[in-house]
Amino acid sequence: MQRMKVDFNYAMKAFVECGLDDTALEKYREKARMGLSRLLRLVDEDKAGFVNLPGQDTSAMKKFAKEMSGKFNDLILIGIGGSSLGMETLCGALLPYGHNARSFSQRGAFPRVWVADNVDPAKISAILNECEPEDTFICVITKSGSTVETAANFNVIYEWLDEGAKEPKKHICTITDPEKGTLREISEKEGFPVFPIPDNVGGRFSVLSPVGLLPAALLGIDIDKLLEGAASVTRDKYEKIITLSSIYMYFMENGKNINVLMPYSSRLSSFADWYCQLWGESLGKRTDTDGNIVMFGSTPVKAVGVIDQHSQVQLFKEGPEDKVVTFIEVEKHEKDKKIMAEYDDYGYLEGHSLGELCNIELLTTEAALKNTGKPSVKISVDSLDEYTLGSLFMLWQYVVPVIGLACDIDPFDQPGVEEGKNYAYGLLGKSGYEDMKQKFEEIFTKRDDFIV
């Protein structure tokens, strides 16, 4: 049974003037096949490990989760970017809405979960005010082991834990590089349980590694079904991957420089955040070829249906001709609610359900965009569970590097991020970054007359 479908009718010239005709589709499919071939070559060279994650051994993670079950009320995840966005997606999609709001008169089987990502004092203080050190478990996630925001939050939270827990070191596990890095060294010295992120899996491609799977297991999520869904994506001989990659490349090269992801489910709101990092950090690149600087990529935008029908859809429909919208449809919504019309004026709602209304509004938004010639694609899953979420993760993790490699850029690096990080290290006084502090002071000049 096919649990995920890709509908690209409204990306085709037969329905929207700016869309692909059959000739263009085949041309870009050839380009996508080339990108896929390059990706699979990297896999064979052991340089793109995310592809092999569905086959990993999950027994150690499940054993650890079982040992921790019922021991803590709260789980704090310390990480940022690729070390947190995937986990937030798993929680938002698969845990009950308002999971963190429930009170704990007694310790439950699965803890509440908090994400300490930003170095925002108000956020970190609020998390620590809600938790009790003796009843809290900490999971620190950073591939390099030296991510400055993660290091800072870990130090603050460890101090809080040390002051309030009898044996603070028994409240911590880490997820980091398998062999090297600051966090690996600390973990081995302190005896923290440590789980490896494969060396050939980058942060934004790591949700199906222990980065996402270990916390998910601690929260009672079926991680084997996540991996089973991820593995299913290639069973159609890469047809969905090639088709989506083709369509996005065509629009990127024909003036559609904004790529909107709009799931029609609040449960997938964080998935759109995860997608924005994957797309933007992988494809937004400046390359220097034969002395010519070339800018590549398109801007990812998050929208959530039906909420953003009341905000951004006005722009999508009648604004500039620079966007392609991808909808995600959940055909059968969990715990759907029938609508009972309490007043005559609302009689038209009688007998319908909230899930039905949500999906009707998706269809009408598709139609409204088509009516003004704006292209869209729709990805449908029959329901939202571990299997289909795993398939959505892996679908995009294939599509993005296929596009990058087809267009001769490296989708696995992030040089634009590293410069800012290195300036921060310099300003913080980290050894070895003195030259970055000096460079920052040379370039960071401002005029008072431009400040009002």
Q: Give the residue numbers annotated as catalytic, written as ranges.
A: 281, 310, 421
Q: Check whether the bond before 140 is cis (ω within 30° of 0).
A: no
Question: Phi/psi class of residue 220: alpha, beta or left (left: φ > 0; alpha: ψ in -120 to 50)?
Answer: left
The Cα–Cα gap between 222 and 97 comes to 18
3-state helix/strand/coil string of 210-273: HHHHHHHHHCCCCHHHHHHHHHHCCCCCCHHHHHHHHHHHHHHCCCCCEEEEEECCHHHHHHHH
Instruction: Note whether 73 and 100 are within 8 A (CB).
Output: no
- For residue 194, the surrounding DSSP H or E stretch is strand 194-196
Q: Which of 242, 239, 252 is CA-nearest to residue 283? A: 252
The Cα–Cα gap between 398 and 238 comes to 9
Give the count of beta carbons closer than 10 Å to the beta carbon of residue 144: 18
Residues in the chain: 452
